[in-house]
Amino acid sequence: MKSTNKSAPSATQQGIRALRTNLSQAWKNDRRLLFKSVTAWVLFSGIIIVFVFLGNTPNHQGVATGGSAASVNGQIISLAEYSEQVEIMSRDPRFAQFEQFGADFAKRWVSQQAIQSLVDQRLLGQNLGKLGLTTPDAQIRDAITEIPAFQEDGRFSKTRYLGYLQATRQNPGEFEEKIRRQLSTGRVARSFSAALRPLPIESELLKGIENKKVNVEVVEIPTETLVVSDGIPSVEVKTFLDKSENKTRVKSYFDSHQADFSKPEQAKVRHILVKAEKGNADQVSKAKAEAEAIVKSLKSGADFAKLAQEKSQDPGSAKQGGVIDYFARGAMVPEFEAYAFSGKVGEISEPVQTDFGFHVIKIEDRRAATSKTLEEVQDDIAQILIAQDRSREEIVAIEKALAAGDQAAVQALLAKHKLTWHETGSFAITANELPKVGGGDEAVTSAFRLTKEKPLADKLVRQGPRALLLRYKSSGVEVAKADPKAPATESPAYRAEAEASRRIDEAFGQWMDGLRKSAKISVNPEVGARTAAAN
């Protein structure tokens, strides 16, 4: 009966579940992608933020300006510089997305990225000379004079420039050194980008790879139940249980599978549903009157099954004469369940109201809860364990035959267990899994290693309680027509660019990690406390 089953939650329950799911996904998945993209921004373009926000003079009121925020190989990062970096970063709309995790979290995250950015700037500045990427004074002057915030009527204004330095409590040397670091850092970023950007041939190669298709046959092998437990003779069970170590295994299995050897109280009922929206007074009144008429008719001798087929508005049970087969507590809505487990067997209820309307219920039967003892089920458990052991032995035998390339032995083992091959249909190497059977990336990679000359995989693809055995069927090139409605993110050029970006991030990150590990870095405990919760 679908209408009373708890698997169909109320709108409120659905909303709560959706909220919990969304929060969970945002934290586990979106957060990882979000953090990665922002970290890349901090490492590359984020370091050069002064050009974006220079028109806004940082407000130092209430911020400590003396002392150091951190030290990098003896070079000081001042608290004033750290405060300015926090403020500038906070203005960037890209950091506003962190508000979804809470205002406090967003503040701590910005603070953490600010100090990390300044530390990385110092490390880069200290190592740029080794890379031959120093920036000459003339380029510094040109960069400063071209900043829009320092221009008036299209020309550089020294008054504006000095006014900014005074407002931000910097002298010309400090500011020019900051610009030098940022320009040089930009050159580092561009160098990594130039070295690792996608070549035109990459997207063409990717397109060629995607056009190649392969079709394989697959056998799904149950790794734990390949040998059926019901077929284990009793004499083998007795021999198995004579060993003390096997008795221990049986006890352990029993303890961890209690639900398999016990049954809760169950009820079997017939019911007739007259639908009514709970908040609609007119519907409720009419449905209740109809349900009461049905009760009166049943108590006068009407056939319940026939009346259910004629009157019940529950599509899940009406055709079966209103029957809902044995179910345990927790399967139905509370009001329905309360009567099913408290009313008398054979008795017809008065109308029972739920969110779905009014139910007329007749309890057909109830079964008491049962729980078997270890002694009662030890033979059954022994059969299961023997079957599992033999299943694993058979899997090992298949893997040995595969490793040896013995196709005849593999086929004999498959025939022994009546396992058959199933064709997947053609798919590309960019597929996430095999059509029809799954298997993930490992299965796809394994499939593309197969050839007409070497048709059988040399090992199984393991997936929890099953393993996949692959065999080559056919391959070819299928040039798919471009879909004008397909998103740009599915194009080979886009994916080649995305892969290059990943390589750039990875290479730059590894280089920075190396600089950090070899550097002597200390952070002011007060600054560290502001960012600790975001670590």
End-to-end CA distance of the chain: 50
Nearest to 175 by CA among 202, 209, 149, 201: 149
Query: Residue 113 and residue 534: Cα distance in Å, rounded?
Result: 10
Query: Residue 89 and residue 440: Cα distance in Å, rounded?
Result: 40
From 182-191, 320-329, 435-444, 521-530, the region with the lowest mean pLDDT: 182-191
**What is the second-level CATH architecture of the domain 265-368?**
Roll (3.10)
Query: Residue 477 and residue 397: Cα distance in Å, rounded?
Result: 36
| Residue 331: DSSP 8-state | S
User: Given this chain, do its domains 44-196+516-534 and 265-368 carry the same CATH topology?
Assistant: no
**Could you give the C-alpha distances from 59 to 62, 64, 149, 169, 175, in angstroms and in order?**
9, 12, 17, 11, 17
pLDDT tens string 439-462: 888 998 899 899 999 999 999 999
The answer to whether the CB of 129 falls within 8 A of the CB of 153 is no
> Would you state the pLDDT for residue 19?
35
> Would you state the pLDDT for residue 204?
53
Query: Residue 486 and residue 211: Cα distance in Å, rounded?
Result: 16
Mean pLDDT value across residues 316-326? 92
Share of the chain above pLDDT 70, in %: 74
| Helices and strands (H and E) in the chain: how many | 19, 16
pLDDT greater than 60 at residue 148? yes
**What is the second-level CATH architecture of the domain 44-196+516-534?**
Orthogonal Bundle (1.10)
> Would you state the pLDDT for residue 211?
72
More confident residue, 187 or 453: 453
The answer to whether the CB of 274 falls within 8 A of the CB of 311 is yes
Length, in residues, of the chain: 535
pTM for this model (two decimals)? 0.46
Q: Give the number of other CB atoms < 10 A from CB of residue 355.
A: 16
From 94-98, 394-398, 458-462, 520-524, the region with the lowest mean pLDDT: 94-98
Q: Which two tokens stand for residue 430?
A: 């960019």
- Per-residue confidence at 33, pLDDT binned at 50, 70, 90? very low
Q: Indicate the domain borders of the chain.
A: 44-196+516-534, 211-245+374-477, 265-368
